[in-house]
Amino acid sequence: MTGDDRPILELDEVSAAYGPYRALFGVSFSVARGAVVALLGPNGAGKSTVARVASGLVPASSGSVRVDGRDVAGEPAWRIARFGLAHVPEGRGVFDSLSVEENLVLSFQRRGGRVQISASLEQAYERFPLLKERRQDRAGTLSGGQQRLLSLAKVLVAPPKVLVADELSLGLAPGVVDDVYAGLADVRREGTALVVVEQQVDRALALASSAVVLERGTVAYFGPPSGARAAVEEVVDRRARGRRQAASS
Amino acid sequence: MEQLLGFAVPGVPYGCAYAVFAVGLVLTYQTTGVFNVGYGAQAYVSAFIFAWLVDDHAWPTWAAFVCAVVIVGPGLGLALDRFLFRRIPSSNTTAKIVTGLSLLVGIPALLPVVFGNQNLVGAPSIVFNPDTVYFHLGADVPVNGIYLSAVLLTVVMLVVLVLLLRTTRLGLEMRAAVESPRLLELEGVNARRVTATAWAVCGLMAGLAGVLLAPTEVTVQAQDYVTLMVAAIAAAAIAALRSMPVAAVVAVLIGVLSLTAQGYLPTSSFWYSAALPAFPFLVLVGALLFVPGLRHLDEATDPLSSVDPPPPPPVAGVRGREVDRLVRTVFFALLFAAVVSMLTWMPPTWETVLNQGMAYSVVFLSVTLLTGTAGQLSLAQATLAGIAAFTAGQLANHLGLDFLVGGAVGAVAASVVAGVLALASLRLRGLGLALMTLAAALLFDVAIFPAQAVSGGTGGITLEPRWLPLDLFAPNGHAYFLVVLLVLVLCAGGVALVQRGTVGRFLAAMRGSELGAAGIGVNLPWQRVLAFALSGALAGVGGALLAIQQTVIAPGEFNYQLSLAFVVIVVTTGVGTVEGAIQAGIGLVVVQQLMQYAPQRLQGLTFVLFALGALAYAAHPEGVVELEKRRWTERAERVLARRHRAPATPAVTGRP
């Protein structure tokens, strides 16, 4: 892995739309191997859409997406996942109707036989003992934070090349957010590159090696985390001014 | 004891037949998320093709079996997935049910058209010879090959499927794909292929059931077929569509209990003639009312559903003023032309046909109000129409009441029944509600309408001219036409007003989101009862009108299949608007009449055409008519916009 300086994830002039509603306009940025990119911006800026385009849930209408040097635009999501990109979507990222253990098995069984699955399960339970306690319960009965930990457990045991984590802290108590971010740090230590979509700017920037700030479907800032704070404030300011103008006219 | 065994044992093959279908329903629901009421139709296809190959083409049994079960069964399942269910978003329960319904309505009508009529024959029993008595239970209850084959088939199928679903990798992926195909894709699994496999497996099971059940006494036809499906649905419901073993056990119990009771009850009693046929429906109603799991069906929603683009806005919202004026003018001109034609040159045959179409339109307006506006799916609209028709008939018969007045009383009666039905099913929604109304419709079909006191027995009620004030039967008097037209205009206007008024807004809010509607202070139970009651009244009025024209109100006239066809037809043309209902009514009778000129063999195609239309519903839930309307409106807007931009140039033809 060392010595290869090709980015692990690269978006080049990507546009995307939901039916007739366009959401992204030529978004470009790249994620280096093992790096952490914070993806910031106000509501509706297109953060989740960027995440979805990267994982293939929403097809890019133009531009190219490269995972590990391979152009994946137009590929179905399941193939992109096999190329080594994992995406934990916003809100619920686990199967409600399956048990905790079934959720884990579903994730592990693609990679190995029965023996390996049970080894992986052991590993996951070791890192998150709480999951072992509740392994027979339906995942839908877990709390929001526990569900995020379940998502992270899948990723930790079989680390992907790059993890796109969409709003992991959304709706969680501060203490639980700490746990989730501890999990993210663990994932990073495994050598996985991270794209962290976040509303809580400080949390994300503390972990990040670079930052992207989105504004209405375009990239307003792409650079080191130190400059991101100001960029975010600028974007928010511009938006507020735009609103006031719209209201007064 | 000996007698009990003697009565109970013959119930076993029936029970096993129910069980095979019940397990199939649970399997399809668990692996594809669709409560496939068309499952029975799938089984029928395989049985039919098997019979066709063996009888007409003298294929050896094994070859016919391979073709009908191993090839056609999964092939049909794959086709259903590829062309229908894949296009329906998993959250759209109504679309899924309607698509299943159109299969149920369409497939049995289509097969004789393609292959000619067949007498279903079954595969010779695989292991046991059907005629050999293998042993006796007790002293003299013979157990022959049919019993053993049925039990063996059921047990093997059950074990295989439970193992598949609970212990294999594929089973886990299937269950995951039901909840969220996208989330499964993020795990690196090709969700489409998993779902297609699930459909293929279900198709195989359906084919197997269809072919193997035919040699038992249970033929997959007509009335038996209904009982079979209802018993299966009831058993699946008691298992909360979750546990296959529970479904199988309940199904066998239903079969055994029915036959045992049949043995003990005297054949002349009320219990034998009415309660016994109604037994499976009562079980279904009981399950719907008391099994808690059924209230939470379809609650596991796809967390990634927001990835789908939002639906397009309705036509009325995007129509410009100029186009709007044009549309209105043309509409009134056409209406005027239609009325004048009917009163002057229209041949009597076609006048009768169009009158019937208008009567149907009134019934269809009830679907518009209930399903289109309030978002509640009812499969009992024909039953409600029948209630009004029989009420009017009996009132005229016994009290000499004018049939039109009786029809109004009947509409009130239908409205009350609908309201009671709504009250009884307040805790159900979506699939549960659809099943509840279906059970009610079947209950009326089997136990209430055939009763002497309701319909006068199998002959039905014949309308007498003295019951009617005007000479409504006179071929060219146009009285009936004017009455129906008046009623239709009143009902259509009424529905349009309701849709635009406060009640309509409440109902639309309820359709959009029950939670959201409750949040802004909509009294959901009351609105739902109101919607059902209004819709019941409309169906009743339409039913009475239909009865006047048919002159004989027969018990089979308003059966559940008609209810299913009603829903399918209306959603095809457009369930959201009054125009949709009228176009559905007129379209139905015109197509039916045109079919009269077609060769005998194609007669059954009417419902197939509408079923095909409902399949378009999968892609365009707003309905075919609405879809075309939007296209034309957009076209008109474009032309107008172009003309405004360049007023000097003559009309532009062709594309730049």
Range(s) of the domain holding residue A130: 95-141
Smallest Cα distance from A243 to chain B, Å: 25
Residues of B with CB below 8 A from A76's CB?
185, 190, 192
Q: How confident is the model at residue A195 (pLDDT cuts 50, 70, 90)?
A: very high
Those residues with Cβ within 8 angstroms of residue B619's Cβ, 6 or more apart along the chain or in another chain:
B87
Structural domains of chain B, with CATH? 20-222 (no CATH), 315-636 (1.10.3470)
Residue B172 and residue A87: Cβ atoms within 8 Å?
Answer: no
Determine the pLDDT at residue B248. 93
* AA identity, residue A62: S
Interchain CB contact of A52 with B (< 8 Å): yes
Determine the pLDDT at residue B646. 58
- Across the range B541-546, mean pLDDT stands at 90
Nearest to B353 by CA among B555, B596, B575, B610: B596
User: Considering CB atoms only, which of A17, A81, A102 is closest to B186?
Assistant: A81
- Across the range A20-25, mean pLDDT stands at 88
For residues A164 and A230, membership in a common domain is answered with yes
For residues A73 and A116, membership in a common domain is answered with no
Task: Among A110, A141, A172, give the residue marking a domain's end.
Answer: A141
Residues of B with CB below 8 A from A98's CB?
172, 175-176, 179
Instruction: Report, in angstroms and rounded to the nearest whole number, the Rg of chain B calculated over CA atoms.
Output: 26
- Look up residue B568 and give its two tokens: 């399918």
Asked whether the CA dihedral B490, B496, B499, B502 is positive or negative, the reply is negative
For residues A52 and A165, membership in a common domain is answered with yes
Instruction: Determine contact, residues A155/A187, Cβ cutoff 8 Å.
Output: yes
Q: Which of A200-204, B10-14, B498-502 has the lowest mean pLDDT?
A: B10-14
Smallest Cα distance from A238 to chain B, Å: 28
pLDDT score of B499 more than 80 = yes
pLDDT score of B532 more than 90 = yes
Residues of B with CB below 8 A from A106's CB?
172-173, 176, 184, 187, 189
CA distances from B299 to A74, B16, B171, B302, B508 (A): 32, 31, 20, 9, 21
Chain B interface test: which of A106, A136, A151, A161 (most B C-beta within 10 Å): A106
Instruction: Determine contact, residues A94/A139, Cβ cutoff 8 Å.
Output: yes
Helices (H), B446-523: 452-455, 479-500, 502-512, 514-519
User: Considering CB atoms only, which of B172, B190, B308 is closest to A106?
Assistant: B172
Interchain CB contact of A226 with B (< 8 Å): no
**A101 lies in some domain:** yes
For residues A87 and A100, membership in a common domain is answered with no
- Across the range B114-128, mean pLDDT stands at 66
Q: What is the DSSP letter of B56?
A: I
Rounded to an integer, what distance in angstroms lies between the CA atom of residue B607 and that of residue B589? Answer: 11
For residues A200 and A226, membership in a common domain is answered with yes
Residue A95 and residue B179: Cβ atoms within 8 Å?
Answer: yes
pLDDT score of B531 more than 90 = yes
Residue B187 and residue A106: Cβ atoms within 8 Å?
Answer: yes
pLDDT score of B598 more than 80 = no
Q: What percent of chain B has pLDDT over 70?
A: 87
**Scanning every residue of chain B, which has its alpha carbon at the shortest distance from the alpha carbon of A114?**
B169
Residues of B with CB below 8 A from A21's CB?
309-310
Q: What are phi and psi of B60, to 5 degrees?
A: -65, 150
Rounded to an integer, what distance in angstroms lies between the CA atom of residue B363 and that of residue B541? Answer: 7
**A150 lies in some domain:** no
- Look up residue B332 and give its two tokens: 């009134």
Q: What percent of chain B has pLDDT over 90?
A: 18
Rounded to an integer, what distance in angstroms lies between the CA atom of residue B345 and that of residue B348? Answer: 9
Smallest Cα distance from A205 to chain B, Å: 26
Instruction: Determine contact, residues B384/B613, Cβ cutoff 8 Å.
Output: no
Smallest Cα distance from B579 to chain A, Å: 27
Residue B308 and residue A78: Cβ atoms within 8 Å?
Answer: no
Residues of A with CB below 8 A from B300's CB?
96-97, 140
Q: What are phi and psi of B392, to 5 degrees?
A: -60, -45
For residues A244 and A166, membership in a common domain is answered with yes
Residue A107 and residue B187: Cβ atoms within 8 Å?
Answer: yes
CA A228 to chain centroid, in Å, comes to: 18
**A153 lies in some domain:** no
Q: Three-state SS for A151?
A: helix
B457 or B31, which is more confident: B31
For residues A26 and A71, membership in a common domain is answered with yes
Instruction: Determine contact, residues A93/A152, Cβ cutoff 8 Å.
Output: no
Q: How many CB atoms lie within 10 A of CB A89?
A: 25
Rounded to an integer, what distance in angstroms lies between the CA atom of residue B355 and that of residue B359? Answer: 6
Determine the pLDDT at residue B315. 54
**Using alpha carbons only, what angle is made at residue B75 by residues B74 and B81, rounded to the nearest 5 degrees?**
90
**A178 lies in some domain:** yes
CATH code (residue A213): 3.40.50.300
- Look up residue B274 and give its two tokens: 């009415």
Residue A21 and residue B303: Cβ atoms within 8 Å?
Answer: no
Q: How confident is the model at residue A1 (pLDDT cuts 50, 70, 90)?
A: very low
Q: Across chain B, what does the average pLDDT equal?
A: 81
**A149 lies in some domain:** no
Helices (H), B187-221: 191-213
- Across the range B418-444, mean pLDDT stands at 88
Determine the pLDDT at residue B299. 62
Instruction: Determine contact, residues B163/B183, Cβ cutoff 8 Å.
Output: no
Query: Domain total for chain A?
Result: 2
pLDDT score of A52 more than 80 = yes
